[in-house]
């Protein structure tokens, strides 16, 4: 029983924080912030490649500030619409959303639930987390852009033109909630409850319909993942084998072990299973847990949400295409992120 309570105590702040950030995302979407960003990209000069790179940059920014799950839910429709109105092949934009969401999830604690779960014992502010992880995060983003440009070069060769599309945003509750939640994540070592309060308050003030909240914040999925994470966390506390194995693998082995575990059981439960105590190489483990899911859709909640949203928009996401790109992307991004962190600050791995 002690193992279950210990695992639950490790996990609940991450789930509370992501719920708060998703609620903030709902309000930002209702205020038209994401649609306005997409319309600005649709009007941007340059060819399809330029629009694609700017789109990936937007995904990275939203992921860093509002969590990768928020990013795939709200930006998959935006990027698909962008491709369609410009007359471009939507395939790069479809897969770029999910791959960049995973890649950019190393910036802040709230960018990915695994960040909070893995480093739960450090109680570091978002600013401290960023000061340690920025080399890996930036390199992961850059490598992802380069690999996606190469992987989808034929699709991006097709001619497409900017369109004069307008989508005015309402600068009100949504932007205030985004700024406030970002400040809380950066400054507080335990931002979960304050960010949830911001999300709830923003939803109430902006009068968001309950049906829309339920559509985005799927309580059943979150509850199911919470139960699985707590169960595996209890197993990890009872049987220390997986965590002990990581301690003997070194930095590269830890990152690879995290990536494999994420693909096998999803990165959130994997993070709890592998960290009943502070791991020997916590940031190497984070790199594996966050970037490894780009190899298979089983690796993260974000991939499941992306797949569901894409199908609802009449897109055709493919597990085979996802993994065929990921088999190149993951080794390169993971190795580059590890190398960047080691070069800039060897002691932080």
Domain extent listing, the chain? 18-217+296-348
Q: Look at residues 2, 253, 236 and name the one whose alpha carbon lies nearest to residue 118.
A: 236
The pLDDT, as a whole number, for residue 43 is 81
Q: What is the dihedral of CA 176, 182, 184, 189, to 10 degrees?
A: 170
CA atoms within 13 A on the CB side of 70: 31
The pLDDT, as a whole number, for residue 319 is 95
Per-residue pLDDT of the chain (349 residues), as tens digits, is: 656 777 777 788 888 888 898 899 889 888 888 888 888 887 878 788 999 999 999 999 999 998 898 899 889 999 998 888 888 899 999 999 999 999 999 999 889 989 988 887 677 788 899 999 999 999 999 999 999 999 999 999 876 666 767 767 777 899 999 999 999 988 888 888 999 999 999 999 988 887 777 777 777 878 888 888 888 778 777 776 666 677 778 889 999 999 999 999 889 888 888 887 778 889 999 999 999 999 999 999 899 889 988 988 889 999 999 999 999 999 999 999 999 988 877 665 6
The pLDDT, as a whole number, for residue 22 is 87
The pLDDT, as a whole number, for residue 33 is 87
The pLDDT, as a whole number, for residue 10 is 76
Question: Phi and psi (nearest 5°) for 228?
Answer: -65, -45
The pLDDT, as a whole number, for residue 334 is 97
- Sequence-distant (6+) residues with CB within 8 A of 326 are 99, 294, 295, 296
Tell me if 277 sits within 8 A of 41, measured CB to CB.
Answer: no
Can you read off the two tokens belonging to residue 195? 């960010």
Q: Look at residues 201, 272, 278 and name the one whose alpha carbon lies nearest to residue 236.
A: 272
């Amino acid at each position: 029983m002690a193992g279950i309570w210990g695992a639950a105590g490790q996990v609940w702040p991450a789930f509370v924080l992501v719920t708060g950030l998703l609620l903030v995302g709902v309000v930002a979407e209702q205020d038209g912030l994401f649609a306005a960003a997409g319309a600005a990209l649709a009007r941007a000069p340059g060819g399809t490649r330029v629009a694609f790179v700017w789109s990936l940059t937007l995904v990275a920014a939203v992921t860093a500030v509002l969590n990768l799950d928020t990013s795939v839910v709200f930006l998959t429709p935006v990027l698909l619409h962008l491709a369609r109105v410009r007359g471009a092949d939507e395939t790069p934009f479809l897969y770029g959303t999910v791959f960049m969401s995973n890649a950019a999830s190393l910036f802040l604690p709230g960018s990915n639930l695994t960040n909070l779960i893995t480093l739960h014992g450090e109680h570091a502010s978002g600013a401290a987390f960023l000061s340690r992880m920025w080399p890996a995060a930036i390199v992961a983003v850059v490598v992802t852009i380069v690999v996606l440009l190469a992987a989808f070069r034929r699709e991006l060769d097709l001619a497409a033109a900017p369109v004069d599309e307008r989508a005015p945003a309402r600068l009100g509750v949504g932007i205030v909630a985004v700024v406030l939640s970002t400040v809380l994540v950066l400054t507080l070592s335990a931002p979960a409850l304050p960010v949830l309060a911001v999300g709830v308050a923003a939803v109430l003030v902006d009068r968001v319909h309950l049906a829309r909240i339920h559509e985005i914040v799927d309580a059943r999925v979150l509850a199911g993942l919470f139960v699985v994470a707590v169960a595996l966390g209890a197993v990890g506390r009872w049987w220390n084998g997986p965590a002990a194995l990581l301690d003997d693998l070194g930095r590269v082995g830890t990152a690879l072990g995290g990536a494999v575990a994420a693909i096998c059981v999803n990165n959130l439960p994997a993070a709890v299973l592998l960290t009943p105590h502070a791991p020997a190489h916590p940031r190497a483990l984070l790199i594996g847990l966050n970037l490894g899911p780009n190899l298979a859709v089983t690796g993260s909640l974000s991939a499941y949400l992306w797949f569901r949203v894409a199908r609802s928009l009449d897109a055709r996401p493919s597990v085979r295409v996802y993994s065929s790109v990921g088999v190149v992307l993951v080794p390169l991004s993971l190795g580059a992120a590890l190398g960047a962190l080691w070069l800039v600050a060897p002691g932080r791995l």
